[in-house]
Amino acid sequence: MSEGFMVARVWRGWLNWLRDVPAADEVDRRNAPTLQVVLLMLALLPPPLWFYRIFLNDLPWRASETPSLIASLGLSVFAGVCVVLIRKGRVQLALRLLLGAVAVLLMHAYASQGMMSNSYEQPVQVAWLVVAGLMIGRRALWLMYLWIVGAFAAGTIVDIDKAATADSWHGLTLFAVVCAIVFLFVAVVVDRSMAALRESLASARARGDELARAKTRLEAEIVERERLYNQLVHSQKVEAVGRLAAGVAHDFNHLLTLVLGYAARGMAAGDEEQMRGALAGVESAARRASAVSRKLTTFSHRGDAMPEVFDVGAALTEMQPMLHQLFGPDVRVAYEPPASAQLVRMDRSEFELVVLNLAANANTAMPEGGRFGIVVQALGPARVALSFSDTGRGMDEAVRRRVFEPFFTTSADGQGSGLGLAVVSEIVSVCGGRLDVDSSLGNGTTFRIELPLADAQFDASGAMPLAANV
């Protein structure tokens, strides 16, 4: 392991330690690393410097150095205490205690030694002014400024007492006023910078709040859209069931006739064998009626989509009786099943709704009869194509472009909602499929649906793509 790598690792560990402060306020957490560095310097640097001065320096000790020693070492101890407070998350308390101690020492230094004796420390005092403004706030900034000006006044009074002439007094007073003005300029700059920073932060927070509200509104709109979509699909299912009602009533009448016929045969039966045959016929007819009823109930059931994997060829084969019921006797239904199973993953009742809506439109387009064809064709290993064609009157280009728009219909008033093909388009799109229409006046219409096969709807991780979820 190289020396540079070790240095970088130690440096990163040191930075992480400085940043690892359990402060609740984000600004305090950002200020904590810099503040800790300053405090550690105050705590660790003065003791070895005083040790060198006392034990390793040949200059004689002066009595005036004793108060400075006590003040400096006291500040070092105080800085260490503030570091402990920051490590416990009490950043603001540590700041206020530190600036309070600095203010007391500052006033003591000026009041005991005078203004001129402390002039060389004024750059450091500017730093404390900046710390008060940036890390605590505006009020702390101006309190620290007023305290420093008071210290200047106390130091100037001490210097004036020592001065010999009036001219010296004027010079000392002018020097203190100039220093106060310089510190005022620094305080104003810090104050204005803080105001600009606060305004920027408030603007950023307002923008963040607006984005959060927009996100909430968008989520609510998505939920509402899904709810309306489910209601629309359900209403289309009910409408499709209504169109099937005539054919279903015919089937039930036929089955009831069979039941009554078998019942009459049973009542006239002369032996037990004939009675058993009549009851078996009644049971068979009742089971067929129950299957028709159960099929319609399942199809019109209202609820969330329940995707499942099924073979579209087998599903279309099972729907042939329903399609024959939907069309009149003058329409021939031709179905070409695929050579092999074509498995897709979607809600089966929604798939049946797609087929019935396309069939219903074809039936409307062929009032005098015709042919309705269904072809299922594999498109490589990933997709399957379903074609639904009729020999009806077709559509012109203007109608063809709008055929999937919600509420657009060419039917007479009260004979169509204009939602059937819009629902078909939505269902196919949500499944990750594609829907096209080819039509012209006098040449019939062909709807072509491409759906992803079930295996193609899963990625390598086993999760379904978003577009494939129904």
pLDDT digits (tens, 9 = 90+) for 75-93: 888 889 989 998 998 888 8
User: Positive or negative, the Cα torsion across 141, 145, 147, 148?
Assistant: positive
Find, among 398, 456, 447, the residue nearest to 427 by Cα: 447
Q: What is the model's pLDDT at position 108? A: 85
Cα→Cα distances 172→125, 145, 181, 366, Å: 19, 20, 14, 110
How many Å apart are CA 403 and CA 420, to the nearest integer? 10
Q: What is the model's pLDDT at position 257? A: 64
Residue 131 pLDDT > 90, yes or no? no
pLDDT grade for 454, boundaries at 50, 70 and 90? confident
Q: Report the domain count for the chain.
A: 2
Q: What is the model's pLDDT at position 309? A: 93
Range of 233-247, 374-388, 443-457 with top mean pLDDT: 374-388
Could you tell me the residue range of the domain that residue 8 belongs to?
A: 3-162
Q: What is the model's pLDDT at position 166? A: 57
- Among the three residues 126, 144, 162, which one is the final residue of a domain in this structure? 162
Q: What is the model's pLDDT at position 464? A: 40
CA 76 to chain centre: 49
Angle at 68 between CA 62 and CA 72, to 5 degrees: 140
Determine, yes or no, domain membership for 184. Answer: no
Strand partners, 387: 375, 448
Q: What is the model's pLDDT at position 243? A: 59
Compare 291 and 356 and report the one with higher pLDDT.
356
Residue 12 pLDDT > 90, yes or no? no
pLDDT grade for 262, boundaries at 50, 70 and 90? low
The amino acid present at 413, given as its one-letter code, is D
Range of 115-119, 361-365, 408-412 with top mean pLDDT: 361-365
Determine, yes or no, domain membership for 429. Answer: yes
- Among the three residues 100, 129, 162, which one is the final residue of a domain in this structure? 162
Residues contacting 371, CB < 8 A, separation 6+:
331, 332, 334, 390, 391
Return mean pLDDT, the chain: 80
In this structure, of 3-17, 212-226, 381-395, the range with the lowest mean pLDDT score is 3-17
Determine, yes or no, domain membership for 44. Answer: yes
Determine, yes or no, domain membership for 131. Answer: yes
Determine, yes or no, domain membership for 273. Answer: no
Determine, yes or no, domain membership for 324. Answer: yes
pLDDT grade for 249, boundaries at 50, 70 and 90? low
Find, among 56, 55, 54, 57, the residue nearest to 65 by Cα: 54
- Among the three residues 136, 162, 188, which one is the final residue of a domain in this structure? 162
Range of 63-72, 293-302, 431-440 with top mean pLDDT: 431-440
Q: What is the model's pLDDT at position 413? A: 47
Determine, yes or no, domain membership for 174. Answer: no
Q: What is the model's pLDDT at position 27? A: 75
Average pLDDT over residues 228-237: 73
